[in-house]
Homo-oligomer: A and B are copies of this chain.
Amino acid sequence: MKKTFMEDLPSLLGRQVKIAGWVHKVRALGGLVFIILRDCTGLCQVVVKGNPDLVKLARSLNMEDVIEVKGIVQRSRSRQFPVEVVAESISVLNRVIGGVPLDVTGAIEADLGTRLRYRVADLKRPRNLAIFRVQAELVDAFRRYLKERRFIEVHTPKIVVYATEGGAELFEVKYFENIAYLAQSPQIYKQMLVIAGFERVFEIGHAYRAEKHSTVRHLNEYVSLDIEMGFIEDENDLINFEEDLIKYMLQSVEENCSRELKLLGAEVTIPDRIPKLRFPEVKEILVEYYNLKEYEDAEDLDTRGEELITKYVQENYGVDMVFVDLFPLSSRPFYTMPYDEVYGRSFDLIFRGLEVSTGSQRIHQYELLRQMMIKKGLNPDDFKYYLEAFKQGAPPHGGFAIGAERMTMKLLGLCNIREASLFPRDRYRLEP
Which residues of chain A have a CB within 8 Å of any CB of chain B? Answer: 3, 5, 20-22, 38-41, 64-66, 68, 93-94, 96-98, 100-101, 117-121, 123-124, 128-129, 132-133, 136, 139-140, 147, 150, 152-161, 171-176, 178, 180, 182, 189, 192-193, 195-200, 204-206, 208, 210, 212, 220-221, 223, 231, 364-366, 384-386, 388-389, 391-396, 404, 422-423, 425, 427, 430-432
A5 touches B150 (CB 8 A): yes
Nearest to A104 among chain B residues (CB) is: B197
29 contacts between A and B (CB under 8 A): A20-B231, A22-B197, A22-B395, A64-B393, A93-B395, A94-B364, A94-B393, A94-B396, A96-B393, A97-B391, A119-B196, A119-B385, A123-B197, A129-B197, A129-B198, A140-B147, A140-B153, A155-B206, A155-B404, A158-B206, A159-B221, A159-B425, A160-B430, A171-B174, A173-B182, A176-B427, A192-B423, A204-B204, A384-B431
Contacts of A389 in B (CB 8 A): 120, 432
Contacts of A150 in B (CB 8 A): 5, 40-41
A91 → chain B, closest Cβ, in Å?
Answer: 11
> When chains A and B are docked, how far (Å) is the Cα of A66 from the Cα of B194?
12
Q: Which of B3, B136, B206 meets A231, CB within 8 Å?
A: B3
A189 touches B66 (CB 8 A): no
Q: For the complex, would chain A's binding face be called helix, strand, loop or mixed by DSSP majority?
A: mixed
Contacts of A128 in B (CB 8 A): 196
Contacts of A231 in B (CB 8 A): 3, 20, 68, 93
Contacts of A20 in B (CB 8 A): 231, 395
A13 → chain B, closest Cβ, in Å?
Answer: 21
> When chains A and B are docked, how far (Å) is the Cα of A184 from the Cα of B394?
36
Q: Which of B100, B132, B178, B396 meets A393, CB within 8 Å?
A: B100
Contacts of A221 in B (CB 8 A): 157-159
Question: A21-B197, A93-B395 are known contacts; what are 4 more A-B pairs with Cβ within 8 Å?
Answer: A22-B197, A123-B196, A132-B154, A205-B206
> When chains A and B are docked, how far (Å) is the Cα of A120 from the Cα of B394?
11
Nearest to A432 among chain B residues (CB) is: B385
B205 touches A395 (CB 8 A): no
Contacts of A152 in B (CB 8 A): 40, 129, 132-133, 136
Nearest to A393 among chain B residues (CB) is: B64
A391 touches B98 (CB 8 A): yes
B158 touches A136 (CB 8 A): no
A197 touches B38 (CB 8 A): yes
Contacts of A160 in B (CB 8 A): 430
> When chains A and B are docked, how far (Å) is the Cα of A117 from the Cα of B223?
29
Given the known A-B contacts A22-B393, A231-B3, A430-B180, are A199 and B120 also in contact in the complex, defined by CB atoms under 8 Å? no
B196 touches A93 (CB 8 A): no
Nearest to A63 among chain B residues (CB) is: B393
A429 → chain B, closest Cβ, in Å?
Answer: 10
Contacts of A5 in B (CB 8 A): 150
A395 touches B155 (CB 8 A): no
Closest 9 A/B residue pairs (Cβ): A385-B432, A40-B199, A123-B196, A64-B393, A97-B391, A120-B389, A172-B174, A66-B395, A136-B153
Contacts of A193 in B (CB 8 A): 123, 422
Contacts of A223 in B (CB 8 A): 155
B66 touches A394 (CB 8 A): yes
Contacts of A195 in B (CB 8 A): 120
A173 touches B176 (CB 8 A): no
Q: Which of B93, B100, B220, B385 meets A392, CB within 8 Å?
A: B100
> When chains A and B are docked, how far (Å) is the Cα of A199 from the Cα of B231?
44
B212 touches A176 (CB 8 A): yes
A401 → chain B, closest Cβ, in Å?
Answer: 15
A173 → chain B, closest Cβ, in Å?
Answer: 5
> When chains A and B are docked, how far (Å) is the Cα of A265 from the Cα of B5?
44
B22 touches A96 (CB 8 A): no
Nearest to A204 among chain B residues (CB) is: B204
Contacts of A101 in B (CB 8 A): 392
Nearest to A139 among chain B residues (CB) is: B153
Contacts of A66 in B (CB 8 A): 393-395
